[in-house]
Amino acid sequence: MSIIRAQFEEFAGGTAKMKKTVQALLHTVGSGVGQSLVPLRAIGGRLRYLSPLPRRFTGAYRSFDEAITAAAKAGPLAGYNHDEIAHVAFEQMCRVAPWDYPVLFWLSRLGDRVDGLLDAGGHMGTKYRAFRSLLDLPKNFQWVVYELPAIAEAGRRRAEKDGLDQLHFVDRLENAPGMSVFLGSGLMQYLDVPLSSVLTSLPHLPQHLLLNKVAFRKGGPIVTLERIGKAYVPYQMRDEGDFVRDLEQLGYRQVDRWSIAALSHVIETHPELGASDNAGFYFRLQPM
């Protein structure tokens, strides 16, 4: 550790503030088992805290609570429940992305056997807007978005303005109708509880689960902070085995899985933790 310490003390010789910061970084990254030598990429990642350039992912925390506490210290907006960020990247999210096509495939296979869908974490109905011209939805089909209050209200106003009669919003699970299809596209990384907790709060378990853009990490779950507009939002990289077992204990069977390499992310301040994996799934509820 002495070589690294000498190098960084020389680098930080300009200001006392930088010296204190580097000392803190050395303490943080050098306190592992046996005080082993930490890869230089870890130290380089910590130095990104000092950069004035915006970072998409910052920090690594053991829980959502730790992450949201750090988010509150990082800026005026912590978490997703803010009207100010409801419209961030809205137009982009209303477009069909390459990783949406497996979801479209399974929705088209289900066809007219379902009369509605619960889109959990569906923002302002962006997937409905992206998919509706590609799906032959019956006129009585209900696309219900479950979202945080600020996002749901913004989506409700926008849907009324655009005359989207099939698109509805709820901001409380107890108000969500019982639907046979549950869609969670980009939900899991922002969800602070296991998915089973959400599913068992519904009037009945959905027959079909379509889960897309689920972030995983080898080596155990990590929560980081994602910068969305002016807000810092907890973003969880889960353990895939635990994620699948959580659904299997409810009676679901994995029918399909697809990888989304394009959505793999590295936490800029913690590159030594490695890149996340990203995947989508179709689960079907098995008869008892």
pLDDT of 45: 55
Tokens at residue 162, please? 């655009």
CATH superfamily of 83-285: Vaccinia Virus protein VP39 (3.40.50.150)
pLDDT of 237: 94
> Which residues lie below 8 Å from residue 228, measured CB to CB, with a gap of 6+?
80, 85, 88
Q: What is the mean pLDDT of residues 234-245?
A: 95
Q: Which residue has the higher pLDDT, 260 or 232?
A: 260
Asked if residue 1 has pLDDT above 50, the reply is no
40-47 and 16-29 are packed helices; what angle lies between their axes, rounded to 10 degrees? 140
The DSSP output letter for 286 is P
Domain borders along the chain are 1-52, 83-285
How far, CA to CA in Å, does 275 sit from each of 48, 188, 203, 222? 17, 17, 37, 11
Mean pLDDT score of the chain: 81
Q: Which of 182, 120, 185, 177 is nearest to 148 (CA)?
A: 120
Please report, to the nearest 10 degrees, the dihedral formed by the alpha carbons of residues 81, 45, 99, 210 taken in order: -50
Q: Which residue has the higher pLDDT, 274 or 206?
A: 206
Q: Which helix (H) or strand (E) holds 27?
A: helix 16-29
Q: What is the mean pLDDT of residues 31-58?
A: 52
Give counts: helices (H), strands (E), the chain. Answer: 10, 11
pLDDT of 183: 98
Tokens at residue 118, please? 């619960």
pLDDT of 77: 56
pLDDT digit string (tens) for 73-130? 766 555 545 555 556 667 888 899 999 999 999 999 997 778 899 999 999 999 999 9
The whole model's pTM is what? 0.78
**CA 169 – CA 156 distance, rounded (Å):** 6
| Residue 12 pLDDT level (bands cut at 50, 70, 90) | very low
pLDDT digit string (tens) for 187-239? 999 998 999 999 999 999 999 999 999 999 988 899 999 887 777 888 999 99
